[in-house]
Amino acid sequence: MCCEGLLVVVSGPSGAGKGTLLNLLKDSGDDSIRFSVSATTRTPRKGEVDGQNYFFKTKDEFKLMIENDELFEWVEYCDNFYGTPKKYVEDTVKEGYDCLLEIEVEGAAKVMEAYPECVSVFILPPSFEELRRRIEKRGTEDIEVVNKRLDRARKEIAYVSNYDYIIVNDNLKEAVEGLRSIIKAEKLKLKRNREILVKFQKD
């Protein structure tokens, strides 16, 4: 690869379909895209591969990563640590690949602060009614949990003004193409192509 790739931060409420969207993009065979791998202290589940699903760490190893400032962001959840390693993201981008990072809004804010040249995209559902329908359709949660997820979604959507782009995921195929278009447009921005102007100025 000849030039630096992009870090693309993707957020959105549960039920917006961001996971399905990114999985479809992942399965498309686009070899210019890589997906960020998080670090965690939880035990690997059956079939999970270290360095592919997660970087599995002991708590002491994870705490050392925190002390050494090796993470863009991290959280402690259910007695385990989760975080986004800087090295994986930065190496991926330097190698010329576009690195997509799916992350919740608080973590995204930390990544955007640490890596201001990243591209941020917020995935929205067509409406709250549709969001409720999608969550209820899963059939795995009672009404109290559904309402908590909707309340959480309202709080997350309040962060949307911090993002560069929004995609309304009404049609999955169009949403995937929208994300592709954002990546293509960002790569054509003047600030990312100043070396071309330098070549012309030298001629």
Task: List, in sequence order, every beta strand (DSSP E) within 78-178.
Answer: 80-85, 98-102, 119-124, 165-168
Cα dist from 35 to 51, 57, 59, 155, whole Å: 11, 19, 24, 26
How far is the C-alpha of 73 from the C-alpha of 63, rounded, in Å? Answer: 12
CB-count exposure of residue 25 (10 Å: 0-12, 13-18, 19+): buried
Give the model's confidence band at 63: pLDDT under 50 very low, under 70 low, under 90 confident, else very high. Answer: very high
* Three-class SS state of 128: helix
The average pLDDT across 2-7 equals 83
Which pLDDT does position 26 carry in this prediction?
86
pTM attached to this predicted model: 0.85
Q: What are phi and psi of 58, to 5 degrees?
A: -75, 165
Q: What residues does each domain of the chain span?
A: 7-202
Contact status, residue 112 vs residue 120, Cβ threshold 8 Å: yes
Give per-residue pLDDT as tens, 83-100. 999 999 999 999 999 999
Query: What tokens appear for 77 in the block?
Result: 């959840």
Give the model's confidence band at 148: pLDDT under 50 very low, under 70 low, under 90 confident, else very high. Answer: confident
CB-count exposure of residue 42 (10 Å: 0-12, 13-18, 19+): middle
The domain defined by 7-202 folds into: Rossmann fold (3.40.50)
